[in-house]
Structure 1
Amino acid sequence: MDYFKSFAQELFSTNFETPPSSIQFIDAALSCTSPHFAPSYTDPNQKRIIRRHLVSFLQDYLSFKPSIDAFMHDDGTSVNLLNANGELQLSSSTPSIPLTIWLHESYPFIAPIVLMSTNTTYPIYDNHPFVDSSSGAISTFYLVNWKYPGCNLSDLVHNLFKIFSHNHPFYYSPSTDDFFHPSLASRREAVDRLSCTLHYDMKELLSKTHEEVEELSSLKEHMVRRVIVAEFSVDESENEMMELKERVKILTDEADKLSSWLRDKDQDLSSEYKIEDEFEAIDENSKILLDSIAADKATEDLMYSLDKAVEQGVMPFGTYIKQVRLLAKEQYFGRATLEKMGISLEWLH
């Protein structure tokens, strides 16, 4: 490409008294037939439209200069494209914006590719609504809705001027705030401003949504843990219920056996029946032991009742002492009788 530029400059220096202008460079580029340096525009009508648009644009924006270079598409295809590069100055109080406008090989039916240089003193806003901070690619309502013949390069840059005046792509400290009344905006400018506002609102909404998603994810994990605990508790309850059912079955069987035994004994269950009659001593000593144990236990129970009566104040202390002495005396003689018979007092415990 540098060779082609030098060739075009040398050619026009030979044929003209003054150095070649931007118009002469465009004409030389579009008329070049070298397979290595010719731009990727083949249709004569397309070339005439490109020339007209570029000339008009360069007359409106003198800070831009034409050039021709190799452009690499996202799919890896390399093509020679005309481009205009320069700086867009919004005002004396704001930094200029370095732009390169590439004319697509299907221009003007496909919008030009507008890139902003990322190698500048000022960094680009990370979340700018129209500029990709990593690549410098610019995408606006005008470019997205590009349609020939209603769109051209001059109007495109004019639209960029309006957009960046409202929302500059660089981080910088403005000295004053430009006043702008909404009634002065055109329909396209209003759409761009609305897009900008919606962009920031969407970023804020996405940030809040992300926080809510994280909270819900945390809640989900907590609920999953609770479900696991609940399932474990249910399993334990089911196992316990099965054990209880088995226990009930065993007790039911035992009750059936006991009922069967009572029926076999054919006992009279009237009020005169005494449960003590079911226990029979095998000899005299056993009978004495059984009676002594019963009497000793009854004495213990009676003493306990007397203790409670004194504590609750329903029995005088003197009466309590008298009764306890009598009971203790009877209990002593009963235990002495057992010792004389050679029966251990462990039976009483």
Structure 2
Amino acid sequence: MVMGPPSSQLGRENWLTQVLNDQGSIHLPYSDNLKFVIRQHLLDLVSEFPTLILKKQQYTHTNGSTVQLLMADGTLPMYYQNVKYNIPVSIWLPEAYPRQPPIMYVVPTPDMIVKPQHSFVDPSGMVFSPYICNWVNGRSNLVDMAQDTSMQFGQDPPLFSKPPNWPPPAQPPTPQHPDTFLAHNPIHRPSSSQTSTPSSSGNIWAGAVAAMSGQPPSPPPPNLEESFRKSAVAELTKRLQGSLARANEAATADMDRLFEQQAELTKREREIARGIESIQAERHALEGCVLEMSGKAAALGKWLEENEKKQVSGEVDADTAIVPADVLSKQALEGQAEDLALEDALYSLDKALQANSLTPEVYIKQVRALCGKQFMVRALGRKVANRQDQLRRAYHNAPTAAGSLRRDSVPGPSHVQMPQGDSWTSVGILSNPLTQGRVI
């Protein structure tokens, strides 16, 4: 069904608005959110090429189904050898336009034929120009397509006039669907119902025949079977390309997901490796501590066993039973003894003051003197403790002999804590001459 074409720009706008918004029994199959784009593309096309007329007409697909579509019917200009020609064309907007490219045909008049073996026009008149084949939704439009096709026609004209004594094509056998051929070129103009009156461009096309002297004088009639085959191949190729594109997108998404998983696994592998190294280092340190403590426990047990017998017989001297292991331990022991003695002196002064054996003036004077001395003793003790801590860390961080983790075989300094307060929390780690210099 064809609605009357509008004659003015305002009429075209109103007509397009009416047919696009028509929700009757025969309505256009375009998406509502794309109707504004379709309307604007068609208005731009007919404004740029006034020789085209907008229509609403029935289109028959290759599978025999029919649908009402918008189309532009008319002529496009073509300049061949500096001479202007008018190429009759029909431009259809498919259901998925503009996501799919338009369908374009050249429509030869009764005195014209399609150029055999044309570079981008098949025998049925369907146009496969580079612009249509590379259509991109959002960037391509009808005006640019028509301009590009017009230039391509100028390089390779698709039509020329029938030579004299051109034999009419044989009638093909009646197909199962009567409109099957119309699916390839819906603008069917049978010569039996039209008068073969040359238009204003008839003489031009006659000249075009002379310009195309290289063409055979009697080209064979169009082969409908070959046309159907090419159309089917083109449709199948389009579907395969779509399937391959979707498969490629799915494969790309899977690869991206696998790369992300690989990166995450690599990150976790590094974290696990660092954790293993940390645990192994801690294990070695603990093994060294265990061996060291085992050696010290064995030495202490041996010392106790030997000196318990001497204690019974009275041979043990309390002053010589335990001696400092080194100079720092000796300073720590002497400082702690002096600190404890000063604590006892301060305690005795408190008792004397409470018993009124001392006057407050004498008490304050003595306490001030003792506290000053205790401060110096404790400051020295803190320096000794810090030095012992440095030596202890250097001792434990020193590399052991290859294949051996026993650190207790080498005597080293021990840490003596000297916190501020009434007394030290540790008496230090001292050594006995009987333990052969081992720290116990």
- Category of TM-score, reference length = shorter chain: 0.3 to 0.5
Q: 1 or 2 for the larger relative contact order (CA 8 Å, sep ≥6)?
A: 2
